[in-house]
Amino acid sequence: MFGSSSVQRKSAVYCSQLCMGSGRNAPNTTDNIEHLQKPGSLLLEYAQPIPRTIADAMHLALQLGCPYFWTDCLCIVQNDNVTKGQFIKAMALIYAQSYLTIIAGEGQDGNFGIPGINGCTKPRDIICRYLEFPGCVMSTEHIVDFMHQTECRGTVWQSRGWTFQEAFFSRRLLILNGTATFICENFESQEWQFIAHGHSRSSISQDIEDKAYPGYISDIPTWPSLKQLAHVVMSYNKRNLTFNDDIVAAFSGIATIMQQAFYTGFHFGVPELFFDAALLWEADKRSSEPLRQRKPRNSKLPSWSWMNAKGSLSLDLWLCFGNDFYNDVKNCSNKYELKPLVRWQKRASGTRALRALKVIEYPSSRDQSGMPPGWTAHTELKGRTLYSHSSDCSGQMYPYPFPIPDKDAKPHLNSDAVDYEPILEFTADRAWLDKVEAVAIHPGLEYRMSGAYNLRDKNGKWVGGLSSDRMGICEQEKEHCELIAISKARFCGNTNFSLWEWDLDEHPSGDQVEPDCSFYNVIWIRREEGRCFRKGIGRVLADDWERLHLERIHVELG
């Protein structure tokens, strides 16, 4: 047994966070911590039984020449909430600083064990047969089944929120799920592929935003990639947590590491650097299963954050506005503008003190001086534009420019879950519109949709589309909706991006070859005890919104 200081001093610590499932027990408590710290305390004649998977992983670590072994079941005092909370916040760092993470994906609980450890456990039943030909090797087994095992699809490990950090932050992964897979920063090797680790065919060193399996090892961006964050959030939000109170704590480790790129921090999972764009999350309308509202017992989650809604999300607008954060008209063929209309303020817990969020201003795409200083655009032969910064001696190229933090500035500490209430205060324009016909079939792609509605004014004129968060609340198809505008957007030129309402016959840009469409992003709200809560998000054509009777109101959005 060793304390937290040992984790930081020793570089050869092996980290094993294993699937405990429903059979997990907590052998490390305040009652027996002194006993467990004595040499030999885990020997069978002295110890209480520990899960078979942990015992097998210890034997595996020993055979790999590992002098230290970590598992939270033994290394965290399970009923000491103060110490446990400190380790929970540090878990991402523990994974990142460990030499190797062992992932045992088989079984429904910690007593399944790890088959195939030489001289220790029962043999595995996997048989990989190969036929060698000149210049190639053919496997006789079904490759798709092995691929599913590599990704641990359908396992308890793959479904849990806490285990997401393991795959994301570890430097090396040894995945044992019927087959053995080893992943490091540059290569991925499976025993059924018959390819040596380090072979060019096992390389995974492509662009971080283009990886086939985002959210796995070495995907931690060193620059504020909203596209990569979107992949993380979409994957993470489908995972299960035993207690909804854990959602902020479980994501805090991810946020802590990612703050090297999103240096202004996160507010309940939403990056302050892209706050206006990151509020534009929606329920995935292709999913028949509605989002489920998380209802923690000991804390409150804001309705405006994706953290409040478990399930499948659509973050298309994150990808759109994030990548075109700063536009240079000379080099930008696809133009997306996002103009914030709100000055966001968050409230310190237990006080009325307000603090402005550290939101970066979005310049107009027509403002060629809007690009941050130090950046240079480089247009490639195929027309793609990349950017470099004068302070980066490595020659790294980026898909878009972004603000560079002051080298002398102190790092922002992520303390939103502790120090701030889940309330945003601001003033905004309000209007009322009618939510009418549900759009059950995508008008262009013809797949079934859920939670999509038309918006009409009092005269019945079509003015926009509305996406309900569908939190399991019974909704009427026709409803008078209170809407507040948070940003104004513009899409112009030949863009590959499309919103579902653009394919409706009543949308004015539907028949344009190069549409130029301006609209307001609005939040559909409900009121409860004087406070507002999000019910959904919509888009209203700019000309139609500006013709409505607008009221300037103060909003407390919880």
Q: What is the DSSP string of 427-493?
A: EEEEEEEEEEEE--B-TTT--B-SSEEEEE-TT--EEEEEEE---S----SSEEEEEEEEEEEEEES
Percent pLDDT > 70 in the chain is 70
Share of the chain above pLDDT 90, in %: 21
Q: What is the pLDDT of residue 291?
A: 86
Structure tokens at 98: 């460990």
Tell me if 456 sits within 8 A of 431, measured CB to CB: no
Contacts by residues 329-334 (CB-CB < 8 Å, ≥ 24 positions apart): 329/365, 329/366, 329/368, 330/368, 330/377, 331/377, 331/379, 331/385, 332/365, 332/385, 333/383, 333/493, 333/494, 334/493, 334/494, 334/495, 334/496, 334/497
Q: Between the ranges 134-138, 312-316, 444-448, where is the mean pLDDT highest? A: 312-316
Q: Which pLDDT score is estimated for 434?
A: 98
Query: Can you tell me the mean pLDDT for 264-270?
Result: 90
- How would residue 265 be classed by pLDDT, with cut points 50, 70 and 90? confident
Most confident of 52-66, 130-144, 472-486, 515-529: 515-529
Place of tokens 């120090």: 419
Higher local confidence (pLDDT), 179 or 318: 318
pLDDT of residue 528: 93
Asked if the model's pLDDT at residue 185 lies above 70, the reply is yes
Query: Does the structure show a pLDDT above 70 at 429?
Result: yes
Predicted local distance difference test score (pLDDT) of residue 439: 92
Cβ distance 387 to 397 under 8 Å? yes
User: Which candidate, 97, 359, 400, places its Cα nearest to that of 223?
Assistant: 400
pLDDT in tens, 390-411: 888 877 888 777 777 766 555 5
Burial category of 127 from C-beta neighbours within 10 Å (exposed 0-12, middle 13-18, buried 19 and up): exposed
Average pLDDT over residues 468-474: 73
The residue that leads in pLDDT, 321 or 284, is 284
For the segment 209-248, what is each residue's pLDDT rounded down to a tens digit?
A: 444 444 455 556 678 888 888 888 887 887 766 556 667 7
- Of 346, 340, 260, which is closest to residue 305 (Cα–Cα)? 346
pLDDT score, position 328 = 44
Question: Stretch 369-398: mean pLDDT, rounded?
Answer: 77
| Main-chain phi, psi angles of 347, to 5 degrees | -110, 130
Look up residue 528 and give its amino acid.
E
Q: Over range 342-357, report the average pLDDT.
A: 82
How far apart, in whole angstroms, are the C-alpha atoms of residue 253 and residue 81? 17
State the amino acid at position 518 in one-letter form.
S
Question: pLDDT at position 113, please?
Answer: 86
Q: Decide: residue 529, CB within 10 A, 0-12 exposed, 13-18 middle, 19+ buried.
A: exposed
Task: Extract the runs of DSSP E, i.e. beta strands, from 307-419.
Answer: 309-310, 313-314, 335-340, 345-348, 354-356, 375-379, 385-389
| Average pLDDT, rounded, for the chain | 77
How far from chain centre, in Å, is Cα 490? 26
Q: For 192-211, what is the mean pLDDT?
A: 57
Residue 457 or residue 59, greater confidence: 457
117 vs 384, more confident: 117
Secondary structure (DSSP) of 193-218:
TT--TT-GGGB--S-GGG-SSTTSTT
Q: pLDDT of 46-62, one tens digit each?
A: 566 778 888 888 888 88
Q: Collapsing DSSP states into helix, strand and coil, what is residue 552? A: strand
User: For 57-114, how does the pLDDT look when each residue is reduced to its tens digit (9 = 90+)?
Assistant: 888 888 888 888 888 888 888 888 888 878 877 777 788 788 888 888 777 777 888 8
Q: Give the chain's length.
A: 558
- Strands of 184-325 (E only): list them: 188-190, 266-267, 270-271, 282-283, 292-293, 309-310, 313-314
* Structure confidence at residue 71 (pLDDT): 86
What is the spatial distance between Cα 236 and Cα 169, in angstroms, rounded to a whole number? 13
Note the pLDDT of residue 525: 97
CA distance 167 to 14: 14
Average pLDDT over residues 180-185: 81
**The pLDDT value given to residue 244:** 61
What pLDDT does 524 receive?
98
Highest mean pLDDT, choosing among 4-18, 144-158, 163-177, 513-527? 513-527
Q: What is the pLDDT of residues 506-541, one digit of tens each?
A: 988 766 656 678 999 999 999 999 899 999 999 999
191 vs 552, residue with greater confidence: 552
* Overall average pLDDT of the 320-348 stretch: 70
Is 345 a residue whose pLDDT tops 50? yes
Structure tokens that stand for 441 in this block: 């079939």
Closest by alpha carbon to 101, among 162, 191, 20, 184? 184
